[in-house]
Chain A
């Protein structure tokens, strides 16, 4: 009877096989060609097959080799959520709010991911970095973002 001895590796192997299948599926319309005249689909398809083979070997290994005992980390869902969402929020808000308010909200929002954060520090840091980034990026490096976007009353689009 086969038993999964290393659950983490088992999942890893399955993930690799799924990744290979995804690439094959989304590349199904790409012309593969032959080894002489390789089409655009040749290289990705071969790689996907190799990845799936490696995935299968990882699964095989997970059935044979015992996992070493490791103390599991307690997942910090709040931190994952905030840190991953922060860039998304940045991307969504940037064009409307402009750099300064976006930066401020990003910093204050993401700082709460730490269990040592306190509001006073976060707000001060947010203000400081908002000013710094405006000076550095819009003034010095002249990126095409304004400090305040059209959503900000009175200040927006002035700079």
Chain B
């Protein structure tokens, strides 16, 4: 079988001592930031990106991926123990997980979360290994028109599934696309929006931009409603699950994994959506639904499996098509570009060691996390006692050095500062920063494909409708948009009528 030789290649990359070490460091860092509230995976990955430039691409991406799924594990730990979700994807875990902890079953809840996540991670990794090559093979036949339509679909869907106002999310995408045009125009060599600043000829650096709008901006928001945390955690005992627990969690884990794997692939989906959806589903169909909210073990098992499955499968569009579905994947695309790898369907055939190595490392990383998390819970809880007023200056310090080290120039530090202001102003007006980053990363690719397609068709825009594939992608985008618009329109209308 082909897949076995591929996985063997992956294993021989992922199990190199150096890559194992970077995977381990990534998982450890990811768990740590998952535990710490007020520091998300997007900001951390942006902060650590400059450090990975010196590493070989495999090690860099393995470590960054480890941070991402490590954060899913870490977030659940604090959600269960002290009702403080470290990540948005573990918000629903806190509902029943914390109740279980109060009933003295913290150990069982943590074990359920770990087992569910591990199972889901394994399944999602296998899914990724099986789905990616055929998908990439299809994408290899894509012309510029198909690529353009695919990107439009990706952007539209990421807006549709995001929270908040649809119009505002679209404005952010367009604004992000516009920011992507800063720098030298590839086709004509004309500098655009550079204001005679030599550093801008290469465009705005995405690391500096994302550190500004995610890292520094998060700090500004946190300082606004600053509260001292008081953490009181009892000793966690009894990690073993009883036989009846096992019986109760098998079905929710399976359902959570299936739902999470599906939602993760969708652009804009990923871990958060997966966990909310699977909790809602479980609440409706579980035979023990009366216990939900009072410490139902299903309420931990389902969302925890779903968020981990979603986190893994959100790599599928990124690795096979080069299209990121969420800000973390956008940063991964950026990291690949900085490593000199063009993201897209060619990655599998051009860089098989990188691709399969990453996949196998996801599985080994999940295993590490199970082993790492349960015995180290005491350490993670102690990390929570680090007060925020010591944490945020350190984050700012590392962001500054990180921005400087991109090109060894202070210009990127100023860009970061500038974008923290822009990001903060936008968040005050309730614009979400995530679509902006997606637009910013996809902007140059979108423009290039649009221009190529129009050159081929000699300026006839119907090229996007003549190719059946491109047409169906665009129709799908319109359908997605229509689906989201309809209920929100009716709701808005209701609001208008009640006056």
**Taking chain B's interface residues, is the majority helix, strand, or loop, or is none over half, making it mixed?**
helix
Q: Which residues of B contact A159 (CB under 8 A)?
A: none
Residue-by-residue, is B443-468 near A (CB-CB < 8 Å gives 1, otherwise 0)?
00001001100110011010000000
Residue-by-residue, is A97-123 near B (CB-CB < 8 Å gives 1, otherwise 0)?
001000100110011011111000110
The contact of B461 among A35, A51, A106, by CB within 8 Å, is: A35
Q: Which residues of A contact B171 (CB under 8 A)?
A: 12, 16, 51, 54-55, 58
The smallest beta-carbon distance between A91 and chain B, in angstroms, is 4
Chain B interface, number of residues (Cβ within 8 angstroms): 70
Residue-by-residue, is B139-174 near A (CB-CB < 8 Å gives 1, otherwise 0)?
000000000000000000000000001011011001
Q: Which residues of B contact A114 (CB under 8 A)?
A: 223, 226, 388-389, 392
Is residue B430 contacting chain A, with contact meaning CB distance below 8 A? yes
User: 8 Å CB contacts to A: which residues of B50-67?
Assistant: 51, 54
* A66 pairs with B499, CB closer than 8 A: yes
The smallest beta-carbon distance between B174 and chain A, in angstroms, is 5
The contact of B403 among A8, A15, A43, A87, by CB within 8 Å, is: A87
Is residue B424 contacting chain A, with contact meaning CB distance below 8 A? yes
Residue-by-residue, is A45-75 near B (CB-CB < 8 Å gives 1, otherwise 0)?
0011011001101100100111000000111
Is residue B482 contacting chain A, with contact meaning CB distance below 8 A? no
* B178 pairs with A88, CB closer than 8 A: no
* B192 pairs with A27, CB closer than 8 A: yes
The smallest beta-carbon distance between B150 and chain A, in angstroms, is 18
* B496 pairs with A12, CB closer than 8 A: no
With the chains together, A144 CA to B407 CA distance in Å? 10
The contact of B188 among A39, A51, A54, A66, by CB within 8 Å, is: A39
**Taking chain A's interface residues, is the majority helix, strand, or loop, or is none over half, making it mixed?**
helix
* B223 pairs with A79, CB closer than 8 A: yes
With the chains together, A42 CA to B459 CA distance in Å? 13
Q: Which residues of A contact B420 (CB under 8 A)?
A: 83-84, 87
Q: Which residues of A contact B165 (CB under 8 A)?
A: 9, 58
Q: Which residues of B contact A85 (CB under 8 A)?
A: 417
* A87 pairs with B170, CB closer than 8 A: no
The smallest beta-carbon distance between B89 and chain A, in angstroms, is 24
The smallest beta-carbon distance between B232 and chain A, in angstroms, is 18
Is residue B130 contacting chain A, with contact meaning CB distance below 8 A? no
* A116 pairs with B454, CB closer than 8 A: no
Q: Which residues of B contact A12 (CB under 8 A)?
A: 168, 171, 429-431
The smallest beta-carbon distance between A82 and chain B, in angstroms, is 9
With the chains together, A19 CA to B177 CA distance in Å? 13
Chain A residue with minimal CB distance to B187?
A: A40
The smallest beta-carbon distance between B125 and chain A, in angstroms, is 31
Residue of A74, A111, A126 with most chain B CB atoms under a 10 A cut-off = A111
Q: Which residues of A contact B430 (CB under 8 A)?
A: 8-9, 12
Is residue B240 contacting chain A, with contact meaning CB distance below 8 A? no
With the chains together, A107 CA to B389 CA distance in Å? 11
With A40-B192, A43-B447, A65-B495 known as contacts, the answer to whether A103 contacts B397 (CB < 8 A) is yes
With the chains together, A47 CA to B450 CA distance in Å? 13
The smallest beta-carbon distance between A141 and chain B, in angstroms, is 7
* B397 pairs with A106, CB closer than 8 A: yes
User: Which stretch, B3-11, B245-253, B408-416, touches the partner chain A?
Assistant: B408-416
With the chains together, A26 CA to B195 CA distance in Å? 9
The contact of A84 among B400, B404, B405, B421, by CB within 8 Å, is: B421
Chain A residue with minimal CB distance to B430?
A: A8
Can you give 5 contacting A-B residue pairs, CB < 8 Å? A30-B190, A58-B165, A91-B411, A95-B410, A116-B388
